[in-house]
Structure 1
Amino acid sequence: MEILRYAAFTRDGHGGNPAGIVLDAADLDDAAMLAAAAQIGYSETAFLTPIPDPDGALPLRYFSPKAEVAFCGHATIATAVARAERVGTGTLTFRTPAGAIDVTTNTGDDGVLRATLTSVPTTVRPLPGDDLTRLLTALRLTPADLDPAWPPRVANAGNDHPVLVLAERRALAELDYNYDLLDTLMAQHAWTTVQIVCEDTSHRWRARDPFPPGGVREDPATGAAAAAFGAYLRELGDLTEAERLTVWQGEDMGAASELLVQLAPDDRVSVTGAARPIPA
């Protein structure tokens, strides 16, 4: 198989989250895809079947080095950009285990090719107190670290992501969690990442996303979590369809990434980002 390597949600051509991409996985079974993802070693590798299903969508699956994942935002953006570079820009639908993901690619006035994914319908629900206590313990945070204006929630735009809003940038920068404890807790609840954010300025947030289920300590750019965060802000009445939110992620791990979030007219969320090939 031909394996491509792209970084998604790059900022000014730098940073981003690396993803493996196989643009023709029609002949690969589950074992072969999992083995390839483990060999590549990135948090996610996307496997595209270039033959449309009866609804005209292209099947797309995602594997971490440990298991299949229902949806991955950065690997979707990377796949869409890599495909557009070869066959041209436009609109298409990926059929993922989480559902149908509409994607549009275009080249902006700055000459940068970007992709926009629109998530499956989103949900937001409370994070029970006992789960919050255990989560804070695993993250080595306390209730005093949280911003009382923003209640903890579990948001879903294809995967479940607990959302925690910190009161200070310092607490986000100094995040140092118990990997094994958090891995166990997230496995029990089928959480994909933990979206930990703090407000920078109006409609600009900084984020970090621990990702033990993917076999990595932290994700430098998480499209699925950014979409879930958009749903969280809509639920709390802080984001409207006319507004765009910028999430800056990865700075504290040396891989600055930019994710642009906008609400869809329905209960979905769109996330836009650039992607670039990773030199061999």
Structure 2
Amino acid sequence: MTDARAALKYTAFADAPGGGNPAGIVLDASQLGDAEMQAIAAEIGFAETAFITEQNVAGDDRRVRVRYFSPLAEVPFCGHATVATAVALAQRDGVGDFVFETPVGPVTITTAAGDEAITASFTSVEPSVEPFGEGVLEALLGLLSTSLDRLDPAYPPRVSFAGNRHPIIVFADRAEFDAFSFDPGAMRSLMNEQGWSGTVTTVFPSSASEYDSRNLFPVGAITEDPATGSAAASFGGYLRALGLIEAPAEIEITQGSHIGRPSRLSVRIPEAGGIVVTGTASPIS
């Protein structure tokens, strides 16, 4: 019987020692039911744990079926746990391409041996962008104790999808971006009501090609996510869909400094198709 003690623990997207987003990884969950996977994820306590529920899909030993659980519920997709799992598989089976069959569809991950660590690049599912529902933006801004006139007018608020739905809010003022706070319980209630299974993504543009992000993810003892691959992909899709960047393009997203876990995500935005997010991952000792 697999339990939390048998799970691997990796951190993904670290930009400094002690940085990155930790993920649990169960490389063989073929005998685990939903309740058992949920219990393991809750015991580990990280934002997400990835479970490989089927090896050798369609006879391909580089294609596996993966499910993701937070401490509270299953989530459709998780970028940092995808990167961490791909690196763990590459360390075991060799670098190259993997395909993860996920609840949102197949996701291709390319792993490569870098100078100091294995890198993993996943290509998201096709992104899409939609406006907020009536009254929802106002409710969200109220929880952040801000208002529409305090956001950057060049970046209209939208809900973006690239595996999970992420509301995207871009602040005009760095000090306000750094200092805002929120009630975790009220935020979780709004997220559940709206079906936002990922994070609430808040952003400040540091330069034309670098963005600082705070991703709100109230679950258990967690309030902010240190590094969010699905949000990075969603933000790349948002920039392209709204014509805020000329594709193809590459951007960097920094995250996690507000909670002491500095992270960096590299994002490649092609002219069409899925968004590519790249990072490293390493075992947590």
Cα gap change, 1:264 to 1:162, in 2 (>3 Å): same
Relative to the length of structure 1, the TM-score reads: 0.95
Within the candidate set 140, 149, 155, 2:145 is matched to 140
Other structure's SS at 2:206 match: strand
CA deviations 1:222-249 (Å, max 9, x no partner) are 0000000000000122334432110000
1:236 paired to 2:242: yes
What is the number of equivalent residue pairs in this alignment?
278
In the TM superposition, residue 265 of structure 1 has moved relative to its aligned partner by: 4.9
TM alignment of 1:248-263, pairs within 5 A: 248-263=254-269
Residue pair 1:34, 1:67 contacting (<8 A) in 2 also: yes
Cα gap change, 1:159 to 1:168, in 2 (>3 Å): same
In structure 2, list runs of 5 or more residues that go unmatched.
none
CA deviations 1:37-70 (Å, max 9, x no partner) are 0000001000013522228431000000101000
**Could you tell me which residue of structure 1 aligns to residue 226 of structure 2?**
220
In the TM superposition, residue 86 of structure 1 has moved relative to its aligned partner by: 1.2
Within the candidate set 91, 95, 104, 2:101 is matched to 95
Other structure's SS at 2:80 match: helix
Other structure's SS at 2:13 match: strand
In structure 1, list runs of 5 or more residues that go unmatched.
none
TM alignment of 1:83-232, pairs within 5 A: 83-108=89-114, 110-191=115-196, 192-212=198-218, 216-232=222-238
The one-letter code sitting in structure 1 at the alignment partner of 2:25 is I
Cα gap change, 1:47 to 1:77, in 2 (>3 Å): same
4+ residue stretches of structure 1 with deviation over 3 A? none
Relative to the length of structure 2, the TM-score reads: 0.93
Other structure's SS at 1:104 match: strand
In the TM superposition, residue 214 of structure 1 has moved relative to its aligned partner by: 6.9
CA deviations 1:157-193 (Å, max 9, x no partner) are 0110000000011112112112121111110011121
The one-letter code sitting in structure 2 at the alignment partner of 1:88 is G
Distance between the aligned counterparts of 1:275 and 1:168, measured in 2? 32
Residue pair 2:229, 2:277 contacting (<8 A) in 1 also: yes
In the TM superposition, residue 145 of structure 1 has moved relative to its aligned partner by: 2.2
Distance between the aligned counterparts of 1:269 and 1:105, measured in 2? 16
Other structure's SS at 2:57 match: coil
In the TM superposition, residue 14 of structure 1 has moved relative to its aligned partner by: 4.2
Other structure's SS at 1:77 match: helix
Distance between the aligned counterparts of 1:14 and 1:272, measured in 2? 19
1:271 paired to 2:271: no
Distance between the aligned counterparts of 1:260 and 1:55, measured in 2? 32
CA deviations 1:202-226 (Å, max 9, x no partner) are 1100000111257621100000000
1:47 paired to 2:43: no
Alignment root-mean-square deviation, CA: 1.5
Distance between the aligned counterparts of 2:59 and 2:215, measured in 1? 34
